[in-house]
Structure 1
Amino acid sequence: MTSLVRQPVIRRLILATLVNTLGNGVYAAVGALFLTRVAGLSVPSVGLGLTLAAVAGLITSTPLGVVADRLGPNRAYVVFLLIQAVAMASLTQVRSLGWFIAIAAVTAIADSGQRGAKGALIAGVVPAEQRVRTRAHLRVATNIGMAAGIALAGIVLAIDQPTVYVAALLADVATFLVTAAMVAWGLPSVPPVPTAAGPSALTALRDRPFLAFVALDGLLTMHNAMIQVALPLWVATATDAPTWLIAVLLLLNSIAVILLQVRVARGTENLTGAARAGRRAGWLLAIACAVLALTDVTSGAATISLLILAALAHVLGEMLQSAGGWGVSFELAPPGGQGQYQGAYAMGRQMGDLFAPTVLTVIAVTIGWPGWLATGAIFLLAGTLIPPTVRHHTLHPAPTPTPA
């Protein structure tokens, strides 16, 4: 345990993250089955609802970051967690597509809001030189909490009864409420930024160099769909590797993040180090794609070895991308604008999560090795462009119009 984790504020943030992601893990494992088996929705309907909800979350991410700045990140974080709790409780009563779309949209919007508020809260209660390391510890906690929640959900899936699915969703509601209580009464209060004292609303959306970084970082976050969707499909349909290897590769990813994320984040507390991490992330993800391309023509032990090598390059790139993104987003935010800049930064990942599954399955999995090389070229280009984009921002900072 590092000295950072011994700090009461950091411990409380880690504990709150563990509680929140425990519930998220339960829902991740049982949510789709509840919606199809209990609520009676079709699989295409669920997909449509989630897509529309993701778009709603993307559109509102930055404006809700402004809300966090004006309301104060503690208060905003608690409000968004409570909205998520109400939405999850309401989900237990869903029996129609329209009702599901409405609740899913509210949930996605509140999730976007709490992400920006949480980022602003971290910026407010943690010294600048410790923010990235704190985010690294919280990402480790997220992986642990999600894994524990998914494991507990195994009990629900084994029983496979409607009342148990409802109970699982209500348990998720409880985790939102407990997390909100921990934020409200366990963390120092960060004062709101009056309109006259902070940057104008949506300054982040006028900051073109920052938005360019967000777009490049968003391309790198396609690594999420790569490990969760594209790689399992590739192993199962295009290689002769045993399907159980998929579980091994996913487990390797989780273990590596838990053990190494904090170490990998070292040196990304400043802009130069953070931008360099983004570049290295792109290169490593490109290497992972190139190795996967080789598995299109290999067999047996060679394929298994290459898949493991690709997974290792991927997870190193994933960790560097996360750490570099945290460092840049914190450092480029103007005083009083952490909420909206964290909200704008989150748009990159939201765009990646929205489009990457389709892009990767069409380009990489369907086309084969040329598709993997094309995907690798995207990662390579995005990573290479991050340092000059960040340098351009330092030379040409965002305009600071009169606050609204």
Structure 2
Amino acid sequence: MPHLLPDTGPQRVIAATNFVNTIGSGLYLTAGVLYFTQAAHLPAAEVGLGLGIAGFVSLAVGIAVGHLADVRGARGVYAATLIVRGLATACFLLAHSFWPFVLAVCAATGAHAAEDAARSPLIRRHGGDRPQEFRAYLRAVTNIGVSVGALLAGWVVQVGTHTAYELLVIGNAVTVAAAAAFLIFLPPVTPGGAVDGPHRLALRDRPYLLITALNGIMAIQFKVLTVALPLWMVEATTAPRWLISSTMLTNTVIIIAFQVRAGRGVDSPAAGGIAYRRSGVAFAVACSLFPLSAGVPAWAATTLLLIAVVVHTVGELWHSAAGFGVSFALAPEHATGQYLGVFGLGTGLAEALGPTLLISLCITWGRPGWYVVGALFALTGLVAPLAVRWAGRHEHARHREAAAAALAA
């Protein structure tokens, strides 16, 4: 279990900001869609369409905001993303028709997507010798905050009144605003300034783009437990319905307890490549176990599903550790925000396309679809170490060119 508090003051400020912020995220993730359908009375089809539009709109935001954080100062840009998201979330209270809903949710989703890119230079500056380990700690904190928010959202859903849903929106907006206020206590990071040549340096780094794409394919795994598995359990198994929440709780507890420990072994890009390979194997094993839960007694289905969830979560620990380590190690220090903004494109695409892909394969097609998804994860895990080695050679070549240019000058 990671230490409750980080070692340094700036790390504690970032962790506190993250914790308060993710309480609001837990509220929204758990019951945000229900607010729009039950309180704002928007048709479910319109809500789904609007969320899809917002997902695609937000993809490019991280790159621009990450670059802005590099050249203007990460603390102020990060605070601005939180303030924008808080205001956009408050506007949900006014979104009682389709286009106001789309505008509000696009602003909120775009700001949320920009947060990671804006925060990345802060993590690199204040994260000590191994910022990826501090990033792993923040992921554990995130799961704690989301869990608290989910519990509060459970009360909202249980009460089910219009006022309760409005309190959910207000609570989300207030937590985001409070998170921004915490940043007053964080020392500013000196901007790295614009780099020589095109600002869009990361978009020209082909090895990094390949790793981004591979990480995006692997990131579809985040939707396995939240989209594919609940539908599978309800439609194809005799497992009790309470198991849906139990699987999520199992996943959350393991991540909180072991994410930092999993990240400690990923101390180089090569180690990150190995972690990607291990995660691909773990996801493939889990995807082979999930379909076995159909057509068996409830006790057997429950046992198989819990084992599969544990195996899947082990893969998630390795996948997250690999992403943290590789994305930071291969990003130039002066362009951390920009590079991490590009790296977030893969996860954004997985967020937008993953649910449809998993439902089509695992639910509509059924058992064979699970095996196809598992094979996709395994293949991605096998290719990732090769891509990491290519990126490492590219990074060394870039350093040699920079050194030669410095000597010539």
Q: Same fold (TM over 0.5)?
A: yes
Match of 2:280 in 1: 282
Aligned residue for 1:29? Answer: 30
- Kindly indicate whether the alpha-carbon contact (under 8 Å) linking 1:198 and 1:337 is maintained by their aligned counterparts in 2: no
Alignment of 1:288-367 (within 5 A): 288-296=286-294, 298-367=296-365
Partner of 2:192: 193
Matches within 5 A, 1:172-251: 172-183=172-183, 185-195=184-194, 197=195, 200-251=198-249
1:36 Cα shift?
1.6
Structure 1 unpaired stretches of 5+: none
Taking the aligned partners of 1:199 and 1:112, their CA distance within structure 2 comes to 26
Aligned length: 399
Structure 2 residue 101 is the aligned partner of structure 1 residue 100 = yes
CA positional deviation for 1:164: 2.8
Q: Quote the offset at 1:44 in angstroms.
A: 0.5
Residue in 1 aligned with 2:142? Answer: 142
Report the Cα distance in structure 1 between the residues aligned to 2:9 and 2:159, rounded to whole angstroms.
39
Give CA-to-partner distance per residue, 1:130-188, whole Å, 9 cap, x none: 212111111111111111111112232233222332222122211111111111x2212
Letter in 2 for 1:108: T
State whether structure 2 residue 115 is matched by structure 1 residue 110.
no
Q: Helix, strand or coil for the counterpart of 1:192? A: coil
Q: 1:164 to 1:3 in 2, by over 3 A?
A: closer
Aligned to 1:88: 89
1:59 alignment partner AA = A
Are 1:256 and 2:254 matched, yes or no? yes
1:115 shift after superposition? 1.2
Q: 1:246 to 1:114 in 2, by over 3 A?
A: same
Q: Distance in 2 between matches of 1:395 and 1:160?
A: 56
C-alpha change, 1:369 and 1:154, in structure 2 (3 Å) is: closer
Contact preservation (8 Å) 2:212, 2:342 = yes
2: distance between equivalents of 1:333 and 1:304? 43
- Asked if 1 retains the 8 angstrom alpha-carbon contact of 2:31 and 2:157, the reply is yes
The alpha carbon displacement at 1:92 in A equals 0.9
What's the offset of the Cα at 1:54? 0.4
Tell me the residue number matched to 1:48: 49
Q: What TM-score do you get using the length of structure 1 for normalisation?
A: 0.94
CA drift of 1:302 comes to: 3.0
Residue 169 (structure 1) aligns with? 169
Counterpart CA distance in 1 for 2:198 and 2:310 is: 43
Match of 1:120 in 2: 121
1:269 shift after superposition: 2.7
| Preserved CA contact (<8 Å) 1:199 1:334 | no
For residue 385 of structure 1, the aligned residue among 380, 383, 386 is 383
Runs ≥4 residues deviating over 4 A = 398-402
Distance 2:130 2:269 in 1: 14
- Cα separation, 1, equivalents of 2:108 and 2:294: 40
Q: Decide whether aligned partners of structure 1 residues 88 and 274 sit closer, same or farther in structure 2, where only a CA change above 3 A counts.
A: same
State the 1:294 CA deviation. Answer: 2.5
2:269 touches 2:392 (CA, 8 Å); kept in 1?
A: no
Q: Answer whether contact 1:12 1:187 (CA < 8 A) is retained.
A: yes
Residue of structure 1 in register with 2:13 after alignment: 12
2 CA distance for matches of 1:4 and 1:382?
A: 35
AA of the residue aligned to 2:159: I
Q: How far does residue 198 in structure 1 lie from its aligned partner after superposition?
A: 6.0
For 2:295 and 2:176, the matched residues in 1 are separated by: 48
Q: Is the 8 A contact 2:327 2:340 kept in 1?
A: yes
Residue of structure 2 equivalent to 1:394: 392
Partner of 1:63: 64
How far 1:33 moved relative to its partner? 2.1
How far has the Cα of 1:28 moved from its partner? 2.1
In 1, the alpha carbon distance for the partners of 2:287 and 2:338 equals 34
The residue matched to 1:153 in structure 2 has which SS?
helix
Q: How large is the RMSD of aligned CA atoms in angstroms?
A: 1.9
Q: Is the 8 A contact 2:238 2:294 kept in 1?
A: no
Tell me the alpha carbon deviations over residues 349-403 of structure 1, each in whole angstroms, 9 at most, x when there is no partner. 111111111111111122222111111110001111111101001112387999x
Q: TM-score, normalised by structure 2?
A: 0.93
Shift of 1:4: 7.3
The answer as to whether partners of 1:84 and 1:176 remain within 8 angstroms in 2 is: yes
